[in-house]
Each structure stands twice: as C-alpha cells, then as structure tokens.
A and B are shown apart, each in its own frame.
Chain A
Amino acid sequence: MEHIRNKLGWGLSAALALLLLAALAGVVHGGPLDPTGPPGSTGKNVITALPFTISQPGSYVLNGNLTCTACSAGQDAITVTADNVTIDLQGFQLVGVTGVKSGISSGGTTPRKHWTIRNGTIDGFSSSGIYAVAVSESTFEDLTITNIAGDSAINAKDGVTVRNVTIDNIANYGMRLGKRAVVSDCYIEVSGGSAWGIDAKDESMIEGCNVSGTSRRVAVYKSRKAALSKDARSRDSL
C-alpha cells in the first residue's frame, strides 16, 4: 500500500512540474490576438463592367454606378442565364444608352426562377428595365426604374413579389406580371397615352399602389370636366 502511495505522489509531482515548465515556456499561451490576414470572401461577386453575363447561381453586387457605354445596340446590360441569382445594386445606378435593350434580362424565354433584384436604380433602356418574361418565383424590391422606352419597366412571369418600386416615365407597361403576383407599395407614372400601369394575371394581389398618368392633355380636359361634373348623376341601372 505504501508502495502505491509513493508511486502516486511521484507521478503527481512530476505532472505539476511539467505544467509549470510549459507555462514558463509559453507552450500553453492563448495565441496572438491580431488577425493574421484580411477577412475572407463574403461570397458576393462584384459586377464591375457592362455588359455582364451571370451564368451561375449566387450573389452579385454593384460597387458603383455603371453605364452601358460598351454595350452594342440590342444588347442587354446584365444577362442572367441561371436560377437562384441575387443582384443587389447597393443603391447604385444601372444606366443604359441609346439602343441598349434591357437593364437586367433573362435573354430569352428559357424558364428561370428564384431571382432577387433589389436596392438601386435602373434607368434609360430601350426595351425593359427588368425583362424576366420567363422568370417565376422571384422578388423585385426597393427599386427605381425610369425612362423605359419599350415594353415595360418590369416584365415577369408567375409568382413574383414586387414591393417598394417606383416607376417613372415609361412608354408602355409599368408592370406586366403573370399569375400570383404580389405587388405592394409601388408608384407608377406613365407618359404614353396607350400605356398601362399594371397588368397582373390570375390570383394576384395589388395593394397600396399609386398609378398616375402625366398626359398634358389631361390637364386640358380637367378644366372641361368641371362643367360636366355639375351634371354628374348616378343612374344605377345595371
């Protein structure tokens, strides 16, 4: 028994001695506090020039205003040929020049889904701001789309959510949306006499939107309607 106690005592003493030596030698030190290098990648791809093609899913951002000066006539500024793509304009502008087709486009009618485009301005394109005619289950939010001479500010397929979008000075459609669209808090000002504010298909929900025309001729007839309004009556004769 005494033999065993002696052995334990020696073992304990040896372990304590080793720990003391290690501490003195810095072996059990917590390590340096300063970072050893720059932070790792956030996984976002930066769009630095136009035209730009996105062919892989992922997150894409602008780090400044971009003008499509290098784009050819009929070309799109950003072409997306993939599903599950997020483009965050980060408050910057995507600007077209004469003849450039659309700001962001699917480039065709191949079905796509799960796009998110947000947070910035798309300005001055000859066809559409966002041409996503075959893109479904997507979100377009916190956008300003202006000066669209062609088809529409936003043209998208089924199940899209559009919220907090301002559309100004468009020649034809503000929004052309498929089924199950949810549109909220939008402001649309159209300039063309044959323009439509919102065209949404079955099971859509449009809430809190303001659609306004700006035809100068309206002002003329506003003054004429004053006389007519005195005659206003309700016939209630279905």
Chain B
Amino acid sequence: MIGIQVASATVTGCSVDNVSGPSLPIGILATSSLVESNSVAHIVCDSVSGCPNQAQAIYANGDGNRIRSNQISSVVYGGNTLGAAYAIYVGSVRNTVSGNSFTGALYGVSCSPAPNDCAPTGQASTSTNPWINVSY
C-alpha cells in the first residue's frame, strides 16, 4: 500500500497513517515534489518473508524533492529478519531534506548507494559532487 504518490507536485498538511503491505509500504512517494508539514505514522512491512522495497515513511523516488518539516513516527520492518525501515529514504539526487522529526524508525534519512546514484549529503558549498543532496 502507498499512502500518497505524486510527481512534480505539492503535498502539505496531510496525514498518512497505518500503511502496510508486503511490497510497497510507503507513506508518501514523491518525485520532484515539495513534501512539507505532513504527519506520517505506522508504516509497516507486514510480510513474514520481508519486503523487497523495504518500508519508508517518505520515499524521494525521483530527483529534486524538497522534504521538510514533516513528523514521522513508527516505521517498522516486520519480516523474519530485521530489514530496513526508513523515515526518509532518498533514492535519487538533488534533494533537500530539512527540519523533519523522526521517532520509531530504524533509520532516519538514508539511502542505499547501489543501485541508486545517491549523491552525498552535506554542505553544498564544500561538496565536490554536483549532484549533492542536502540535509540540514
């Protein structure tokens, strides 16, 4: 189940709760969008065999998202083995992630380098990677 999926859009002031499933337990899946001031809670991978796409409260799937001031709680990977459960998963480049709060998520802001081209996070002024993501 996916709560909200958007592309080049704006999602503000929304609440996504109790999103579960064996394949896509994602609260908000965004591409090139502004995701601001939302509440995302209880995102659960509920397959005993695990979820190939992990569990993410907010998933920056495409480039250039602005993810800010969201409240995220309880992101759970419920497979037999402890898998990845992310508050914010960045699977792309040129994103900014700021002012979000996390509780009850295994990882806060993260992404897996491969196969995604996840540019490093940090200060844009000192980065040598033109595709840098910025988290602050």
A196 touches B2 (CB 8 A): yes
Instruction: Give the number of chain B interface residues (Cβ < 8 Å).
Output: 50
Is there a chain B Cβ closer than 8 Å to A45's Cβ? no
A203 touches B8 (CB 8 A): yes
How many cross-chain pairs have Cβ atoms below 8 Å apart between A and B?
Answer: 163
B14 touches A236 (CB 8 A): no
A222 surroundings in chain B (CB, below 8 A): 42, 44, 74, 76
B1 touches A195 (CB 8 A): yes
B46 surroundings in chain A (CB, below 8 A): 193, 215, 217-218, 220-221
Is there a chain B Cβ closer than 8 Å to A61's Cβ? no
Knowing A211-B17, A213-B17, A215-B20, the reply to whether A237 touches B103 (Cβ < 8 A) is no
B132 and chain A: residue at smallest CB distance: A238
Question: Of A192, A196, A235, which is within 8 A of B108 by CB?
Answer: A235
Contact with B along A99-114 (1 / 0, CB 8 A): 0000000000000000
CA of A216 to CA of B96, assembled, Å:
35
Stretch at the interface among A11-19, A65-73, A224-232: A224-232
A193 surroundings in chain B (CB, below 8 A): 1, 20-22, 46
Knowing A198-B5, A238-B109, the reply to whether A229 touches B103 (Cβ < 8 A) is yes
> Interface on chain A toward B: helix, strand, loop, or mixed SS?
mixed
CA of A27 to CA of B106, assembled, Å:
93
B134 and chain A: residue at smallest CB distance: A238
Is there a chain B Cβ closer than 8 Å to A56's Cβ? no
Is there a chain A Cβ closer than 8 Å to B54's Cβ? no
B11 surroundings in chain A (CB, below 8 A): 206-207
B8 touches A238 (CB 8 A): no
The residue in A193, A194, A224, A238 that gathers the most chain B C-beta atoms within 10 A of its C-beta is A238
Is there a chain B Cβ closer than 8 Å to A210's Cβ? yes
Q: Which of B30-76 contact A (CB under 8 A)?
A: 42, 44, 46, 74, 76
CA of A39 to CA of B9, assembled, Å:
48
B4 touches A198 (CB 8 A): yes
B124 surroundings in chain A (CB, below 8 A): none
B110 touches A221 (CB 8 A): no
Q: Which 8 A-B pairs have the closest CB atoms?
A: A234-B108, A229-B104, A238-B121, A225-B76, A213-B18, A204-B9, A202-B8, A211-B3
Please list 23 pairs of residues, one from A and one from B, whose beta carbons are closer than 8 Å in the complex, sorted by A's number. Answer: A196-B2, A197-B1, A197-B2, A197-B3, A199-B4, A200-B5, A200-B6, A203-B9, A205-B9, A207-B13, A209-B15, A210-B16, A210-B17, A211-B14, A212-B15, A212-B17, A213-B20, A218-B18, A218-B20, A229-B104, A229-B105, A232-B103, A235-B110
Which residues of B pack against A, CB within 8 Å? Answer: 1-24, 42, 44, 46, 74, 76-78, 85, 87, 90, 102-111, 118-121, 133, 135
Which residues of A pack against B, CB within 8 Å? Answer: 190, 192-215, 217-218, 220-222, 224-225, 228-229, 231-238
